Amino acid sequence: MGKISINIKSGKIAKQSDVIIGIDLGTTNSLVAYIHENKPIAVKGKDGKSTLVPSIIHFAPENEIVVGEAAKLKLIEEPHNTIYSVKRLMGKSYNDLSEIQSYLGYKILDEDTDSLVKINVQDKYYTPIELSAEILKELKKRIEEELEATVSKAVITVPAYFNDAQRQATRDAGKLAGLDVLRIVNEPTAASLAYGFDKLAEDAQTIAVYDLGGGTFDISILKIDNGIFEVLSTNGDTFLGGDDFDKAILDYWYKTYDIKATSLETDRSFAQALRLAAERAKKALSSTESFSETVHNIDLSLDIETFETQIKSLVNRTITACQSALSDAKLKAIDIDHVIMVGGSTRVPAVKKAVANFFNQEVYDKLDPDEVVALGAAIQADILAGNQKEMLLLDITPLSLGIETVGGLMDTIIPRNSKVPIKAGRNYTTSVDGQKNLKIGVYQGERDLVEHNRKLGEFILSGIPPMPAGLPKIEIQFIINADGILKVKAMELRSDIETEIEIRSQYGISEEDMAKMLMDSIQNAEGDMKQRALLEARNEANNIILATNKFLVQNDSILSEEEKSQIKKLHQSLKETVAGTDKDAINKAMEILNEYSAPLAHRAMDANIQASLKGTKL
Ligand code: AMP
């Protein structure tokens, strides 16, 4: 299956693999996985030690870049040249950063603007995209060594709450690293894939993915129905994780052994040794009952009960977030079919117990919690590669997509919750005689008026040959491909002119905004309906007003003066109602005008027929 290509740098012939790789680009650690003999495996480094690549980038002298374990060693010595947690900066502007600035040991350009952040290292500035690309390059290198071939295609996971800018930044990082990012997948979706929940049952299943890493906590509630994943809600805490467990242990030791803050400040190696011992204690207590070790002549010890007491409030905070996620999804704990544990810190037995207790069921923890997301990404990659034919991984459109029609009304073309890929279209026409151009505004949302929805883009179909209003046949098509890219096409079918736009990124939207938009549409449903009815009545009335004008001009000789003045009178009062906001008055005025003019229209038609039979033009 492999293709042969030449490595430009070395001049050697390199094998190119068709394998699509799965990448978990994490805040603390990243991993790469692929499908080997029908099973997903995470790839270890050359030393064969760990599948985890610490998401840390160190700039050595001469701007030489080191990534992973080697970079982690420099974190204490050279904090300003060593970048960590870059995932927290993805897609962020300076204005977004106030909350995390103090947490980072390196320098971020301090500008009060909406532009994307840059990180200052030595004499250069780097974007989070460039830095993430370094991590991705390291992962790419790792798998290429394993496969002894080059790879170029990847699936990368991101948190479910990532907004579109963050997703786009992740894609861009992939591109910079020489990877064609075929799909961005939500981390909880990947975890569910790793456990095979997509193919377990016929019925829809609801899954809670509890992800407690080193520094972040996410809870996501997903629904899987016929292979379609939908994120029902997300919650969490971007500053809560295993590092806080370590700190809780440290605080306990400081108190118990009377360790003074001053001694920690003056002796950094002592502070560091204690911190590492705290992490070792925590890890040990995941499989034993007690821990003891001597550090700088202090006999440190910790038993499991004490540890659990120290972290109780932290664990409780995660449970509160689970509660919020459930209520946002309008569900109860009993509605959850499966609970998946993700992230290194879910190895802590007290965490497992608390989660199992809250959801009142056993949790899924058989797969390595550090690897589960990467394994799922590899499965998704394999599906995309077409190796799992029985499965088509579908996404859904979270909000309706449509265009603006006369009077600012939203006309939905693809309703929300449609399966992607999808193609849908509808026919329109012009509202003015001789109209040459048609502006097409593309919107996303559930409200009846486009002004309340989100504008995704706009384009103009120009060059429509002059025709009376209503004659042109304009087809508007919405096409969403498997990558979620929306293309909108407009075609005038009588003249064959067409134009299209592609909407790439903007139409992704954060779960939070989406929930808000849906909520708004429900809360405003009644008002929106009234408004829509009014606008529709106005549109119809305007058409009648135009038609009446035409009628008067064309049939001047057939109509008596009295008839003309009566039509003008009714025409005028219809115009007045259109200016108002009473839909019933508009409808009534239309009815009266129609009633009066219908027999006249018949007469006019007869006269026209007579005239044309005689060959006279009126
Ligand atoms: P992650 O960000 O998912 O890689 O999670 C890393 C976190 O998991 C760190 O805080 C680790 O200390 C923690 N961790 C790793 N192994 C264990 C273990 N055996 N017991 C408790 N915590 C662990």
The residue that leads in pLDDT, 484 or 18, is 18
584 alpha carbon – ligand 1 mean position (Å): 66
The residue that leads in pLDDT, 595 or 105, is 595
343 alpha carbon – ligand 1 mean position (Å): 7
Give the pLDDT confidence score for residue 225 in this predicted structure: 76
CA angle 74, 78, 81 (to 5 degrees): 100
The residue that leads in pLDDT, 116 or 354, is 354
Q: Are 154 and 135 in contact (CB under 8 A)?
A: no
Q: Whose CA is nearest to atom 8 of ligand 1?
A: 344
Q: Whose CA is nearest to atom 2 of ligand 1?
A: 213
Q: How far apart are CA 240 and CA 406, in angstroms?
A: 50
Let me know if domain 526-613 sits in CATH 1.20.1270.10.
Answer: yes
CA distances from 274 to 141, 262, 288, 554 (A): 34, 14, 20, 95
SS3 state at 587? helix
Give the pLDDT confidence score for residue 1 in this predicted structure: 40
At 366, give phi and psi (nearest 5°).
-70, -35
Q: Whose CA is nearest to atom 22 of ligand 1?
A: 345
Nearest atom in ligand 1 to the alpha carbon of residue 28 is 2
Residue 151 in tokens: 């790879």
Q: How far apart are CA 395 and CA 393, in angstroms?
A: 7
Q: Whose CA is nearest to atom 19 of ligand 1?
A: 283
> What are 327-347's pLDDT values in tens digits?
989 999 999 999 999 999 999
Q: Whose CA is nearest to atom 14 of ligand 1?
A: 344
Residue 424 in tokens: 């849908």
Q: Best mutation site among 25, 85, 247, 282 for ligand 1, i.e. most ligand atoms within 8 A of its Cβ? A: 282
> What are 225-259's pLDDT values in tens digits?
767 788 888 899 989 999 999 999 999 999 999 99
The residue that leads in pLDDT, 44 or 555, is 44
**Could you tell me which of 257, 58, 35, 62 has the C-alpha nearest to residue 153?**
35
Residues carrying CATH 3.30.420.40, the chain: 20-240+313-393
Q: Which has the minimum average pLDDT: 75-84, 143-152, 188-197, 604-613?
A: 604-613
55 alpha carbon – ligand 1 mean position (Å): 14
189 alpha carbon – ligand 1 mean position (Å): 21
CA distances from 469 to 69, 107, 436, 474, 572 (A): 69, 61, 10, 12, 22
- Mean per-residue pLDDT for 360-376? 97
Which residues are the active-site residues?
Answer: 24, 87, 187, 211
**Could you tell me which of 430, 486, 416, 480 has the C-alpha nearest to residue 457?**
486
Q: How far apart are CA 475 and CA 497, in angstroms?
A: 11
Q: How far apart are CA 375 and CA 24, in angstroms?
A: 9
Give the pLDDT confidence score for residue 29 in this predicted structure: 96
Q: Taking the CA of residue 414 as centre, how many other CA atoms within 13 Å lie in the half-sphere pointing to its CB?
A: 26
436 alpha carbon – ligand 1 mean position (Å): 64
Tell me the CATH number of domain 399-502, given options 3.30.43.10, 1.25.40.10, 2.60.34.10, 3.30.70.120: 2.60.34.10
The answer, yes or no, to whether residue 12 has pLDDT greater than 60, is no
Q: What is the DSSP letter of 339?
A: E
Residues carrying CATH 1.20.1270.10, the chain: 526-613
305 alpha carbon – ligand 1 mean position (Å): 19
User: Which CATH number describes the domain made up of 20-240+313-393?
Assistant: 3.30.420.40
Give the pLDDT confidence score for residue 51 in this predicted structure: 97
Give the pLDDT confidence score for residue 160 in this predicted structure: 87
Residues carrying CATH 2.60.34.10, the chain: 399-502
241 alpha carbon – ligand 1 mean position (Å): 9
Nearest atom in ligand 1 to the alpha carbon of residue 343 is 3
User: Please, which residues have CB within 8 angstroms of residue 104's CB and are 6 or more apart in sequence?
Assistant: 84, 85
Nearest atom in ligand 1 to the alpha carbon of residue 243 is 10
Residue 110: pLDDT band (50, 70, 90) is: low
pTM score, whole prediction: 0.68
578 alpha carbon – ligand 1 mean position (Å): 67
Q: Which residues pair with 454 in a beta bridge?
A: 444
Q: Taking the CA of residue 322 as centre, how many other CA atoms within 13 Å lie in the half-sphere pointing to its CB?
A: 26
Four-CA torsion 305, 311, 313, 314, nearest 10 degrees? -150
Q: Whose CA is nearest to atom 20 of ligand 1?
A: 283
Give the pLDDT confidence score for residue 390 in this predicted structure: 54
Q: Which has the minimum average pLDDT: 88-97, 143-152, 539-548?
A: 88-97
Give the pLDDT confidence score for residue 282 in this predicted structure: 98
Residue 230 in tokens: 């939908």
Give the pLDDT confidence score for residue 2 in this predicted structure: 44
Percent of the chain with pLDDT over 70: 90
Q: How far apart are CA 191 and CA 87, in angstroms?
A: 19
**Could you tell me which of 396, 399, 24 has the C-alpha nearest to residue 193?**
24
The answer, yes or no, to whether residue 320 has pLDDT greater than 90, is yes
Percent of the chain with pLDDT over 90: 56
Q: Which residues pair with 40 in a beta bridge?
A: 35
User: Please, which residues have CB within 8 angstroms of residue 550's CB and are 6 or more apart in sequence?
Assistant: none
Residue 551 in tokens: 């009628």
Q: Which residues pair with 209 in a beta bridge?
A: 220, 340
The residue that leads in pLDDT, 455 or 306, is 306
User: Please, which residues have CB within 8 angstroms of residue 546's CB and are 6 or more apart in sequence?
Assistant: 469
Q: Whose CA is nearest to atom 21 of ligand 1?
A: 283
The residue that leads in pLDDT, 95 or 464, is 464
Q: Which has the minimum average pLDDT: 11-20, 181-190, 502-511?
A: 502-511
Highest mean pLDDT among 187-191, 380-384, 476-480: 187-191
Give residue 176's Cα distance to chain centre. 21
Nearest atom in ligand 1 to the alpha carbon of residue 212 is 3
At 52, give phi and psi (nearest 5°).
-85, 135
Give the pLDDT confidence score for residue 509 in this predicted structure: 56
Cβ-based neighbour number of residue 351 at 10 Å: 25
> What are 251-279's pLDDT values in tens digits?
999 999 999 888 887 887 888 899 999 99
Residue 571 in tokens: 């025409």
> What are 495-533's pLDDT values in tens digits?
989 998 877 644 455 656 766 777 777 777 778 888 888
Whats the size of the chain, residue-wise? 618
Give residue 31's Cα distance to chain centre. 21
Give the pLDDT confidence score for residue 394 in this predicted structure: 53
> What are 389-444's pLDDT values in tens digits?
555 455 667 788 999 998 899 999 998 877 777 889 999 998 888 999 999 999 98
Q: Are 457 and 450 in contact (CB under 8 A)?
A: no
- Mean per-residue pLDDT for 78-103? 82
Residue 200: pLDDT band (50, 70, 90) is: low
Give the pLDDT confidence score for residue 505 in this predicted structure: 47
Q: Best mutation site among 345, 351, 365, 372 for ligand 1, i.e. most ligand atoms within 8 A of its Cβ? A: 345
Q: Terminal CA-to-CA distance of the chain, rounded, Å?
A: 76
Q: Whose CA is nearest to atom 18 of ligand 1?
A: 283
- Mean per-residue pLDDT for 461-490? 87
Nearest atom in ligand 1 to the alpha carbon of residue 287 is 19
Four-CA torsion 400, 402, 405, 408, nearest 10 degrees? 50
Q: How far apart are CA 317 and CA 311, in angstroms?
A: 10
Nearest atom in ligand 1 to the alpha carbon of residue 216 is 2
The residue that leads in pLDDT, 76 or 137, is 137
Highest mean pLDDT among 169-178, 257-266, 591-600: 169-178
Cβ-based neighbour number of residue 218 at 10 Å: 25
Q: How far apart are CA 282 and CA 247, in angstroms?
A: 10
Q: How far apart are CA 362 and CA 463, in angstroms?
A: 64
Ligand 1 pocket by Cβ (under 6 Å): 26, 28-29, 213-214, 241-243, 279, 282-283, 286, 343-345, 347-348, 370
- Average pLDDT taken over every residue of the chain: 88
Q: How far apart are CA 499 and CA 153, in angstroms?
A: 31
Residue 618: pLDDT band (50, 70, 90) is: very low
Q: How far apart are CA 31 and CA 471, in angstroms?
A: 59
Q: Are 356 and 338 in contact (CB under 8 A)?
A: no
